[in-house]
Structure 1
């Protein structure tokens, strides 16, 4: 099995568009803002997302964020987000990032692989500790975080706060 993490590019094409149409629009707190968009809207979204990654045209509440695609044997099967730093709001909801695997490719260990690769990207960005805020009912994601040496530091009535040393 060949696993590859590719950073979003404005030149991404149909394979990524198809991935984003199959990934749910919102699931367990992970937002896929491209689900339901036309191909032309997707191409504009890529440019906007690339600008966000570079800190260009950020809204007041935003931080720079990179988007990545997990490819397995040449096919995109997942999406990950990595925020460059945390605000006080992101420490309570959102964390450093999140990930989603296509429903048709779940239960194959790809979530664990994707999170591990995101943690490595965070380390390269000089992030020492990676925070995931996982909804309490999302037991699959909690298991993925724990399998990546995550430690539950607190829980509230909505979320687990899981820190992973980079």
Structure 2
């Protein structure tokens, strides 16, 4: 992986085509469900959704049940969106059990290139700069790829919990933000 070819950027309302191409790779019927915090925002144009996503960084206009959250998109040198990552600034009761501080997705055609590891390390450094000492990261127990990413970034396994309505337990891992600069 050549990190010079990657940029972690703020979501942009003028990049709808790139974003929807990313979503289409996941086969999402609604176009954005399940691809980051933007999928939780109802109504409005794409640009309006992005404005709300950016406002969430400051805790403004939070949809019910959500916490302040920062979102970024990973773009390669071809201008293609290859990943997305969200950093939740605090944990609700539900996030503490099942969602954690961080959620990420990598375009299926770009998996295995360590993009998730790159994004997580970048967000660990951002979280450290925000004064966050450690991050809770969760993944499904059968998501071996995500477990490898978490371990590469220094994750320590805490436990697995059953999420009501799900057949697969959710694993909970803790990562010290200080490790962001210690990883090679």
TM-score norm. by structure 1 comes to 0.84
Distance 2:100 2:117 in 1: 17
Q: CA deviation at 1:69?
A: 0.8
Q: Hey, what does 1:161 align to over in structure 2?
A: 172
Q: Hey, what does 2:130 align to over in structure 1?
A: 125
Distance 1:24 1:97 in 2: 22
1:93 is paired with a residue whose SS is helix
1:64 aligns with 2:75: no
**1:95-114 CA-partner distances (Å, limit 9, x unpaired):** 00111000011111111111
Higher strand share: 1
Distance 1:31 1:135 in 2: 14
Moved over 6 A (4+): none
Distance 2:102 2:89 in 1: 9
- Contact between 2:135 and 2:175, CA under 8 Å: does it hold in 1? yes
Q: CA deviation at 1:24?
A: 4.8
Q: Hey, what does 1:18 align to over in structure 2?
A: 21
Distance 2:84 2:73 in 1: 5
Q: CA deviation at 1:13?
A: 4.5
What are the within-5 Å matches in structure 2 for residues 15-54 of structure 1? 15-25=18-28, 31-32=34-35, 41-54=45-58
Selected match of 1:82 from 79, 82, 87: 87
* Alignment length (residue pairs): 159
Unaligned runs of 5+ in 2: 163-168, 178-184
Over aligned residue pairs, what C-alpha RMSD do you find? 2.3
1:44 is paired with a residue whose SS is helix
Distance 1:136 1:113 in 2: 22
2:8 is paired with a residue whose SS is strand
1:142 aligns with 2:126: no
- Contact between 1:10 and 1:50, CA under 8 Å: does it hold in 2? no
2:65 is paired with a residue whose SS is coil
